């Protein structure tokens, strides 16, 4: 399938959950120095330790931005340990496109950032 599917382009042009999340419980930033892709992920947890709200900010290629945006929808209701267990394959499946090896790092930058945020949280140890 074309890498720039309607879904990818839609999330790139009209990103969901883009912007800073005030009162985020945890946040992290990651970047891909080779491409210049940059992502910040903000996570707000409810009192049961589940993701209540998620948002991202960043700049970079369509794949990295669309993937991060889709991720912020996917992780609502998940716990911190659940986030740390999301695999790269799940992200690629979520994107619904065939991705070449050179672009995998773009696709998973959002996940890497979310995991980086997650492991800073005390619940990550559970």
Structure tokens belonging to residue 96: 């619904």
Kindly tell me which of 9 and 76 has the beta carbon lying closer to another protein.
Answer: 9
**Interaction of residue 78 with another protein, rule CB under 8 A:** no
Q: Is residue 3 at the binding interface for another protein, with CB under 8 A as the rule?
A: yes
Q: Does 4 bind another protein (CB under 8 A)?
A: yes
Among 2, 23, 48, 122, the residue binding another protein under the rule CB under 8 A is 2
Residue 9 within binding range of another protein, rule CB under 8 A: yes
Please answer whether residues 25 and 121 qualify as being in contact, where contact means their C-beta atoms are separated by less than 8 angstroms.
yes
Q: Give residues in contact with another protein (CB under 8 A).
A: 2-4, 9, 12-13, 33-37, 60-63, 103, 106
């Amino acid at each position: 399938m074309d890498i720039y599917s309607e879904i990818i382009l839609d999330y790139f042009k009209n990103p969901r959950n883009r912007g800073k999340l005030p009162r985020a419980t945890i946040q992290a930033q990651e970047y891909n120095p080779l491409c210049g892709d940059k992502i910040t992920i903000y996570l707000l947890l409810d009192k049961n330790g589940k993701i209540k709200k998620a948002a991202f900010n960043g700049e970079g290629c369509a794949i990295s931005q669309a993937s991060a945006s889709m991720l912020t929808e996917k992780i609502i209701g998940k716990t911190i340990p659940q986030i740390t267990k999301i695999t790269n394959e799940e992200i690629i499946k979520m994107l619904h496109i065939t991705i070449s090896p050179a672009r995998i790092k773009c696709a998973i930058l959002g996940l890497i950032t979310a995991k980086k945020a997650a492991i800073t949280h005390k619940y990550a140890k559970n």
